[in-house]
Amino acid sequence: MDLRGTISPDRPLLVLALAEEAAYLDPDLPVLLTGMGKVNATIALAATLARGPLPASVVNLGTAGALHTGWTGTHEVGRVLQHDLDSAVLHALTGQVVGAPLTLTGTGPVLATGDQFIADEQARARLAEDAHLVDMEGYALAATAQRFGLPIRLVKHVSDGAGEGAGHTWQESVDGCAKILAQWARDNL
């Protein structure tokens, strides 16, 4: 966890998993680097928000894999779900709804979040039945921000095709993605 800058109630807090994704952001903006995965994202954002002050909102910028052929570009997520939590089984066992999909303010695609880097065709095809994009932090950040009563935006730039070779593609594309995400922040925040 690495907080850069000062959080204030009149500005959004930018949240990213990795320094590589944040490389070109305006240094005057508060940026929280959480580390990869849902647990790291939850701990970092919850600890930061609990210390206060609260920001005006949370904006998660990051890379994502495309689950459908031809998906490229930058997208603001409209709905996010956890792909590695079997909510239906847990509901059947306990009668409780655990990890339900979250609807966000955006009208864009569905993002599937899980603690797996998707780099095989079978997993990609399975996830494509319910989502358009895949990442490793979005759901955790959205759930945490909502628990603190803060609006959140998830903005993802497609870095790879979430299939064979996705890891290599991500390594090659992350710097270019970081430039595009920084431009999005300049244009939209």
Q: How many CB atoms lie within 10 A of CB 106?
A: 17
The percent of residues above 70 in pLDDT, for the chain, comes to: 95
State pLDDT tens for residues 103-138.
998 789 999 999 988 888 999 999 999 999 999 999
pTM of the model: 0.93
pLDDT tens-digit profile of 86-101?
767 655 677 887 788 9
Identify whether the C-beta of residue 66 lies closer than 8 Å to the C-beta of residue 160.
yes
Q: For the chain, which domains are there?
A: 2-188 (3.40.50.1580)
